[in-house]
Amino acid sequence: MASAQAHRGPDGTGFELSDAGGVALGMNLLSIVGATAPGPYRSRHSGAVLTFNGEIYNWRELAQRWHLPILPDESDAHLLLRAWDRFGSRCLGELDGMFAFAVHEPRTERLVLVRDRLGEKPLYVHRKGGDVHFASEVKAISAAVPLTWVFPDEWHSAETPLGTDTPYEDLELIAPGKMVALDLRTWSWSERTWWDLGDESPAAAPSGPQLVERFSEITMRSLESRRGPGDQALLLSGGLDSAVIARVLRPEVLVTVRYPGHARYDELGRAEEVAASIGRELIVVEPTEDDLVDSIDHIVASLDYPVGNASLLSEFMLYRRIGELGIRVVHGGIGPDEFLLGYTRHALAAQCVTAASAARFGAYEPLARRFATSADLSGSIAERYYRGILRGSDPSGVLHRLVHERFAEEADVGRALTKVDLASAFPPLLLSADKLSSAFGLERRSPFLAHRWAQLCFSLPMELKCPTDAKAPTKVLLRQFAETVGVPRSVIDDHDKRGFASPVPVWLTTTLRAWAHSRTSPTSWSTAPARQLDPGDSDPYDRSRFMNLMISIWRETTP
């Protein structure tokens, strides 16, 4: 199992077997903050054994506060093990970080699995008969037990399994903010939520200058806390979010992507302005059709199973370049679009866009037109959003239920939109960021995913996120903060979001059409994914062909 995901920890692998022989733990080490010996780590006090994946950013502060000794060659994982000995699961609320870990407690005969608040680090569990296997990646579990494919209905509607589902029988993700415990004497399984975004959101956020000051303070603290040792890299898209990270953290290496001949994806000019403003060289990666052909098998294998994400090729190529430079830590701008409603789809749902008004969305005009024609503009925002994000058919209504349930839970439209995203489009972004970066031995950090920052943003009123006035800017407070840290004015004023989307959908209907056809199995669609399109359709927002291609390769190459 450890060998199957050795890329996640190129600095060594360790193992621990319980005295009774019933529990075996392994750990691949990617050394970022000091540990020289790979785990799992055993407590001399209690005999508890910890295997750990992730980063606890405030571990040194906690060690001082709790008076827990840390030796020079020890790390955040050692701090966690000692805190678990002293406080048990009560220590979780104090941890600021991204993590998935397991603790075997021989005294209580329990195995405890914990996943971080927002799900930055994956944690899969397979339970069948008298065995339990868990790992950060599916390929590690499939190295130990045979897995059986299933095709979730969500591949039709959302391009990704929803919630804790995976495309395998008896295999699920531990949900973000969850802790599960296995009693090794009775084989009983219990689960509880140790953190929930809504439960801890402030009842009443300050307003006016106090709110601006508080937002700026929490944003700066959140970003600074993610600064790591040694050289750092940043995925710099040319948009607002990554520009803010660049100005605050000033990483040594900036990388961006460009697709020559595809102007609608090109933000190179903005990225160059940001790089110049902090005196850093910008490395430009230009993926081609050949790169897709050469890399698609590696991408699918790295992901474990296909998920919908418009930037898969871009991210893969950027991480590969960063890995070639010998850098260990890479930052990216995930978060503000979910918690401050920065995606075009949020504005489309909130502003009742018609086909006649779609042109104001610039590069996203095709998406706006499709939204205006597919959504029922006379219906509820929940129904408009559902119709707008629906990728194909929804045979069992699973996506429809998810959207309407989240809106039923929240009277505030902004919070409801965020909850829908956190349950649908957000998890595949995190999973692909983690797995594609880990494929090259990198630690991916998302500075905006500090939980206190997410809580504050979640509590803000709609008008400070995605105003219903089409002329008003989105992410108002973040734009104000960007100005105070020196983000170029042109970036602050540019609302035409592009990100790292790629022309892959266009390639698959033009230059790579024959190749895609040769690698796409016509028998894959009896139980899976997406609708079949007219062969001449080259809608730049339609990823059905790409999903079909990835699922074919997944079925072809996965045991």
| Beta strand pairing call for 24-28 and 41-42 | unpaired
Q: Which of 102-111, 115-124, 360-369 has the weakest average pLDDT?
A: 360-369
Taking only the tens place, the pLDDT of each residue in 433-476 is 999 999 999 999 999 999 999 999 999 988 888 877 766 788 99
365 pLDDT exceeds 90?
Answer: no
Taking only the tens place, the pLDDT of each residue in 6-43 is 999 999 999 999 988 899 999 999 988 766 789 999 99
What Cα–Cα distance (Å) separates residue 270 from each residue in 238, 485, 490, 499, 521?
5, 16, 7, 12, 41
Quick one: pLDDT at residue 209? 87
- Rounded Cα gap, residues 353 and 360, in angstroms: 10
- DSSP conformation letters of 168-224: BTTEEEPPTTEEEEEETTT--EEEEES--TTTTS-SS---HHHHHHHHHHHHHHHHH
Taking only the tens place, the pLDDT of each residue in 550-559 is 999 999 988 7
Quick one: pLDDT at residue 530? 43
For residue 93, give the 3-state DSSP assignment. helix
**CATH class of the domain comprising 3-193:** alpha beta
pLDDT band at 192 (very low <50, low <70, confident <90, very high): very high
pLDDT band at 544 (very low <50, low <70, confident <90, very high): confident
Radius of gyration of the chain (CA): 23
- Rounded Cα gap, residues 93 and 60, in angstroms: 16
Q: How many residues does the chain have?
A: 559
| Beta strand pairing call for 253-257 and 443-445 | unpaired
CB 251 within 8 A of CB 330: no
Amino acid at 288: T
**What are the backbone dihedrals phi and psi of residue 114, each rounded to the nearest 5 degrees, phi first?**
-135, 135
Q: What is the residue-averaged pLDDT of the chain?
A: 90
CB 55 within 8 A of CB 49: no
Using alpha carbons only, what angle is made at residue 293 by residues 287 and 297, rounded to the nearest 5 degrees? 110
Quick one: pLDDT at residue 174? 98
376 pLDDT exceeds 60?
Answer: no
User: In this predicted model, which residue has the larger pLDDT, 371 or 181?
Assistant: 181
pLDDT band at 362 (very low <50, low <70, confident <90, very high): low
pLDDT band at 346 (very low <50, low <70, confident <90, very high): confident
pLDDT band at 529 (very low <50, low <70, confident <90, very high): very low
- DSSP conformation letters of 4-47: GGGGG-BT-EEEEE-TTSS-EEEEEB--SSS--S-S-EE-TTT-
Taking only the tens place, the pLDDT of each residue in 470-516 is 667 889 999 999 999 999 999 999 876 677 889 999 999 999 999 99
203 pLDDT exceeds 50?
Answer: no
Question: Two tokens at 51?
Answer: 């295997």
User: In this predicted model, which residue has the larger pLDDT, 38 or 357?
Assistant: 38
Q: Provide CATH 3.60.20.10 ranges for the chain.
A: 3-193
Quick one: pLDDT at residue 527? 44
Average pLDDT over residues 295-310: 95
Instruction: Say what the pTM is.
Output: 0.94
pLDDT band at 207 (very low <50, low <70, confident <90, very high): confident
Quick one: pLDDT at residue 325? 97
Q: List CB contacts of 534: < 8 A, sequence separation 6 or more.
A: none
Q: Which fold has domain 208-340+424-502?
A: Rossmann fold (3.40.50)
Quick one: pLDDT at residue 152? 86
Using alpha carbons only, what angle is made at residue 23 by residues 558 and 83, rounded to the nearest 5 degrees? 110
Q: Provide CATH 3.40.50.620 ranges for the chain.
A: 208-340+424-502
156 pLDDT exceeds 70?
Answer: yes
- Rounded Cα gap, residues 246 and 266, in angstroms: 19
Quick one: pLDDT at residue 360? 65
